[in-house]
C-alpha cells in the first residue's frame, strides 16, 4: 500500500461510496454527510487517503473535523477507512492529521468528539485513540398504556384541561423552557448560549419537523390565597413536542405517524423542579401521550427524570430499546 493524503475534492463522496458500500452504523450514516470540502464558515477540514489500484489512485479513506455553533466546546470528527485497508494505521494517520488541523482552528477549540456504537471497530479505534465516553444515548419505544393515566385535581375534565394544554410550537413560554431544559441535560457538553430563535429553529419550527406540543402545567394558584379564584395559568412543568415523519417528495398532505408507528417525541421538564416533581411531571405527561399510541424517545443518561420513569418500563418489558446505543466519546479535558 502506498497511501497518499490530500484535500477532499468534489466527487470524492461518490468514489468513496463505491468502495465503502453502505454505512455500517447509524453514526456512520449521519457523519458521512459531514465529509465535504474544507472551508472557513463553518470551519471544516476534510482529508482523503488514496491508494494506487491497477495504476490508478483512488480514494479509500477520509477524515473530517469541523466546528459546530451548537455545542461549541468541542469539534466534531469522523474517520472512515475502506474495509480492505483497515488495521494498517490509515485511520490513525488521518486522526493525527485532523488533530494537527484542529490545533489551528480559529475558535481555539481543539478537543475532538465523535459518536460510536459500542462493540464496533469505530468504538475500539476511538478508545485506542484516547477518546472516552461522555454520554450514552438510547432510542426507546414506550408501549401504549405502559403508564396509568394521571388524575388531575378533583378528577374532573375542567381540572384536567386546566393542567394539560395543546400549545402552539411558536410559543415563547414553551421555547424558553425547552431551551433551559436542553441546556440543563447537556452539562457534559454545553450547547452554548441558546437564544429563543435558536431553540425555535432547532426544535420547534416547521423545518425542525415539529408537529405539535402538549404541556403539563402546575394547578392554578391564586396569588390571594385559597378561596379567591385564580386567574392566571399555572407554571409550565413539562412539555412533549411531537415530530412528524418527513413527507415523501411531492406529498403535500400532512404527515402524521402511521397507525402503530411510534411518534417521535422530545419530552422534558422545567429544570427548576425538584427531582421528585420533575419525575412526576414527566411521568404524567408520558402517560397521557403514550396512552393509545407508542412513543419514541431519545433517552440520554443525563436525563435523570426521564430515566427514572422509563428505565422501570424497560425492565418490565413495557418499553424497549430500538437499535444500538450511541456513545458520544471525547478527548479528555
Ligand atoms: C474506525 C476506523 C476508522 C479505524 O480505521 P483503521 O485504519 O483500521 O485504524 P488503525 O489501523 O489506525 O487502528 C488504530 C488502532 O485502533 C484500534 N482498532 C482499530 N480497529 C479495531 C478493531 N476492529 N478492533 C479492535 N481494535 C481496533 C487498535 O488499537 C488499532 O491499533 P492496532 O491495529 O495496532 O491494534 C475503521 O474501522 C472504520 O472506518 N470504521 C467505520 C467508521 C467508524 O466507525 N469510524 C469511527 C468514528 S471516528
pLDDT above 70: percentage of residues in the chain: 92
Write out residues with Cβ below 6 Å of ligand 1: 24, 28, 78-81, 86-92, 114, 116, 120-122, 124-125, 128
In this prediction, residues 21-27 reach a mean pLDDT of 95
Looking up cell 459500542, which residue turns up? 118
Judging by DSSP bridges, how do beta strands 263-269 and 295-300 pair with one another?
Answer: parallel
The pLDDT of residue 62 is above 80: yes
- Measured in whole angstroms, the distance separating CA 88 from the mean position of its chain's CA atoms is 33
The pLDDT of residue 103 is above 50: yes
pLDDT per residue as tens digits for the range 36-59: 999 999 999 999 999 998 899 999
Task: Find the 326 Cα to ligand 1 centroid distance in Å.
Answer: 17
In this prediction, residues 211-229 reach a mean pLDDT of 79
Per-domain boundaries in the chain: 3-130, 139-330
Average pLDDT, rounded, for the chain: 92
CA–CA distance, 332 with 66 (Å, rounded to integer): 18
pLDDT at 107: 94
Q: Model confidence at 213, in pLDDT bands (50, 70, 90)?
A: very high
pLDDT at 244: 80
CA–CA distance, 210 with 245 (Å, rounded to integer): 10
Nearest CA to ligand 1 atom 5: 91
**Beta strand residue intervals within 157-235, DSSP E:** 164-167, 210-217
pLDDT per residue as tens digits for the range 267-290: 999 999 999 999 999 999 999 999
The pLDDT of residue 64 is above 60: yes
Confirm if 142 and 292 have CB atoms less than 8 A apart.
no
CATH topology match: 3-130 vs 139-330: yes
Task: Find the 167 Cα to ligand 1 centroid distance in Å.
Answer: 47
pLDDT per residue as tens digits for the range 221-270: 756 666 666 667 889 999 999 998 644 444 444 445 556 789 999 999 99
Confirm if 28 and 61 have CB atoms less than 8 A apart.
no
**The listed CATH number (3.20.20.70, 3.30.360.10, 3.40.718.10, 3.40.630.30) that belongs to domain 3-130:** 3.40.630.30
CATH number belonging to domain 139-330: 3.40.630
pLDDT per residue as tens digits for the range 76-97: 999 999 999 999 999 999 999 9
Residues 6+ apart with CB under 8 A from 259: none
pLDDT at 333: 86
Residue 243 grid cell: 415530530
CA–CA distance, 66 with 109 (Å, rounded to integer): 10
Task: Find the 93 Cα to ligand 1 centroid distance in Å.
Answer: 11
| Helix-then-strand count for the chain, H and E | 9, 13
Confirm if 295 and 97 have CB atoms less than 8 A apart.
no
H or E segment to which residue 143 belongs: none
Helix (H, G, I), strand (E, B) or coil at 150: coil
pLDDT at 34: 97
Residue 55 grid cell: 495504476
In this prediction, residues 89-110 reach a mean pLDDT of 97
> 296: cis peptide before it, omega within 30°?
no
Nearest CA to ligand 1 atom 23: 121
Amino acid at each position: 500500500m502506498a497511501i497518499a493524503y490530500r484535500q477532499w475534492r468534489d466527487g470524492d463522496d461518490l468514489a468513496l461510496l463505491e468502495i465503502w458500500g453502505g454505512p455500517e452504523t447509524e453514526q456512520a450514516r449521519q457523519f458521512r454527510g459531514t465529509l465535504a470540502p474544507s472551508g472557513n464558515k463553518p470551519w471544516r477540514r476534510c482529508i482523503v487517503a488514496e491508494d494506487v489500484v491497477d495504476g490508478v489512485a483512488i480514494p479509500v479513506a477520509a477524515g473530517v473535523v469541523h466546528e459546530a455553533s451548537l455545542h461549541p466546546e468541542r469539534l466534531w470528527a469522523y474517520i472512515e477507512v475502506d474495509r480492505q485497508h483497515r488495521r494498517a494505521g490509515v485511520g490513525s494517520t488521518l486522526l493525527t492529521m485532523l488533530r494537527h488541523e484542529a490545533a489551528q482552528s480559529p475558535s481555539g477549540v481543539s478537543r475532538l468528539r465523535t459518536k460510536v456504537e459500542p462493540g464496533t471497530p469505530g468504538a475500539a479505534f476511538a478508545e485506542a485513540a484516547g477518546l472516552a465516553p461522555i454520554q450514552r444515548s438510547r432510542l426507546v419505544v414506550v408501549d401504549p398504556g405502559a403508564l396509568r393515566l394521571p388524575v388531575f385535581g378533583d378528577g374532573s375534565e375542567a381540572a384536567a384541561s386546566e393542567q394539560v394544554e395543546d400549545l402552539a410550537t411558536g410559543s415563547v413560554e414553551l421555547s424558553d423552557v425547552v431551551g433551559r431544559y436542553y441546556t440543563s441535560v447537556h452539562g457534559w457538553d454545553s450547547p452554548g448560549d441558546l437564544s429563543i430563535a435558536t431553540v425555535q429553529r432547532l426544535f420547534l419550527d416547521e423545518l425542525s419537523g415539529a408537529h405539535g406540543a402538549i404541556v403539563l402545567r402546575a394547578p392554578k394558584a391564586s396569588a390571594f390565597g385559597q378561596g379567591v379564584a385564580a386567574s392566571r395559568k399555572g407554571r409550565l412543568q413539562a412539555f412533549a413536542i411531537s415530530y412528524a415523519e418527513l413527507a415523501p417528495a411531492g406529498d403535500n398532505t400532512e404527515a402524521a405517524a402511521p397507525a402503530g408507528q411510534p411518534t417521535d417525541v422530545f419530552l422534558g421538564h422545567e429544570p427548576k423542579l425538584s427531582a421528585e416533581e420533575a419525575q412526576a411531571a414527566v411521568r404524567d405527561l408520558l402517560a397521557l401521550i403514550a396512552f393509545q399510541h407508542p412513543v419514541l424517545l431519545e433517552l440520554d443518561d443525563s436525563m435523570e427524570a426521564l430515566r427514572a420513569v422509563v428505565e422501570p418500563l424497560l425492565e418490565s418489558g413495557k418499553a424497549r430499546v430500538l437499535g444500538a446505543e450511541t456513545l458520544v466519546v471525547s478527548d479528555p479535558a
